[in-house]
A and B are shown apart, each in its own frame.
Chain A
Amino acid sequence: MFDVNEVRKDFPMIQNNKDLIYFDSGATSFKPKCVIDAVMDYYTLYNSNIHRGDYDISVKVSKEYDDTRKTIARFIGADDPRCIVFTSGSTSALNLVAYNFGNSFLKQGDVILTSQVEHASNILPWFKAAEKAKAKIEYVPLNADATFDLKKYEDCFAQGNIKVVVLPHVSNVMGYIYPVKKIAEIAHAHGALVSIDGAQGVPHVKVDVKDLDIDFLSFSSHKMLGPAGAGVLYGKYDLLDRMEPLMYGGDSNARFYNDGTIILKGVPEKFESGTPCIEGVLGMNEAARYLMDLGMENVEEYGRYLTRYFIEKLEKLDNVEIYNPRSEAGIVSFNLKGIFAQDAASYFNKCGVALRSGTHCAKLIHNIINVTESLRATFNVYNTTEEIDRFVEIIRDTTIEKCVDSIL
């Protein structure tokens, strides 16, 4: 296991904000110095475009950019770096998949099976895909505590029309790790493909796409210690090969003619039109290496440890209601009894604790856990049990009067 105090030294945001307790890594994580340096180095040492220049610095940046595919492939257990498509983030990756299903993979009457815990980015593109293909959206029934039940999931296939299963690896409100391997096995047995939203999973849980045998995995750099503006769509090669890009333009085409014929490059270049977020990709390369150096098993174990530690402390308080007591992956959703989530979050801000309040972009989940809004604390490798202890003491003493006072 890594030494968290050593890890903290790697993060300038922590060194520069000694009094801040940052529990909103689920929204975006801090970045280690090696990632920031990679971005700075690009702009200060070899700023040039990729795949376009016959000069040394362009060759260098092209190589580093393309090498990032190898790093990311290793990071998620993919054999073929061509299966790593760079996108602007999870959202564009998820949209690219859903667009292709809506456009050509689905036909009228097909079913998209998803759940009500989905982040907006993993459900709205599918609403559009369903509209386009005249397909249907159906929701997997979850258990009362929003945990996943494989039996209920498998029963959904009885009707026979499910063509694609759309689920998160880790729910961004509940922090439950979904049994993705079994989910894929069951889907494939019924001829359905599987698209997994890895935005909250990849940063916290060891992922091996070969072992999980999933068809698509989308994730963002900025939640996994990398820069914003970059992300990844992993897909099986033959599926990516059948897909169309969302955008057309420079770098993705091999040739085009005045009669309108376009000859696209192959996978993955055909999906990457225009100058991408080069510094984001280079920074993501460092972020993936940094996480692999820590060891994703360790990252996962430490995340589980902090989550359990916080939940056990919260369970001892009588002014708190926890919505995901079985959370494992660094996400805890809760409320203070009788205090509106945003009032509490504003008060915590006054106390130096940053965390999220609201619906967390998963506006359907509150149909399941039956509250309209909640607080969400999310942890990452640089958070400590000391920070949790300090926060628990603040929560213990929080009253609605103090919350109101914070605006007076």
Chain B
Amino acid sequence: MMDREFKRIILLDHYNNPNNKKLVEDERYKSVHNASESCIDDLTVYMLAQDGVIKDLQFSGIGCTISTASTDIMCDLLKNKTFDEARNILANYSNMVADKPFDEDVLEEANAFDTLYQQANRIKCGTIGIHAIEELIDEYTK
């Protein structure tokens, strides 16, 4: 378990200075747009993959601290992972925010969201970018 102080630092760092937030206009990337129906979160995630490996992940749009930080952390986490590895990480993340058993070793900084399940109205913030990434993998592997 991360302590609260550490989680706060991680979240605010990814919110204030995201590593992967930029508008991508490169045609080699696939993109998925995901907007919340009930709040303002409105993100587009871009993926470049080759030979079953995620080469790059970026995102753009408008989001709260949770949607921005969770998407940015996941972009960091999944770069250079195979689709199978990525699917395993995403499944563990989904379990974590649903308060189901998960493997914290594979989630690294995403463990900062290990109590998000307690905030019913914010779970959608913590999954909006994540669902877009899942769709992108499906898109690549269909």
* Chain A residues engaging chain B, CB cutoff 8 angstroms: 340-343, 346, 349, 357-359, 372-373, 400-401, 403-408
Contacts and interface: CB of A to CB of B under 8 A. Distances in A.
A372 B8 contact: no
A155 to B, nearest CB: 34
A264 B103 CA distance: 66
A372 B112 CA distance: 27
B62 interface: yes
A359 B7 CA distance: 29
Interface residues of B, number: 22
A388 B116 CA distance: 30
A340 B64 contact: yes
Contacts of B41: 342
B4 interface: yes
Nearest to B6: A408
A358 B122 contact: no
B8 A342 contact: no
B127 to A, nearest CB: 13
B7 A408 contact: yes
Interface string B86-115: 000000000000000000000000001001
* B interface secondary structure, majority: helix
Contacts of B65: 340, 343, 400, 403-404
A342 B65 CA distance: 9
B66 to A, nearest CB: 6
A401, A405, A407, most chain B CB atoms within 10 A? A407
Nearest to B41: A342
Nearest to A342: B64
B119 to A, nearest CB: 5
A341 B125 CA distance: 13
Nearest to B66: A407
A408 B8 contact: yes
A405 B121 contact: no
Given A341-B40, A404-B8, A407-B119, 9 more contacts: A340-B65, A357-B39, A359-B40, A373-B39, A373-B62, A404-B11, A405-B4, A407-B115, A408-B8
Nearest to B126: A407
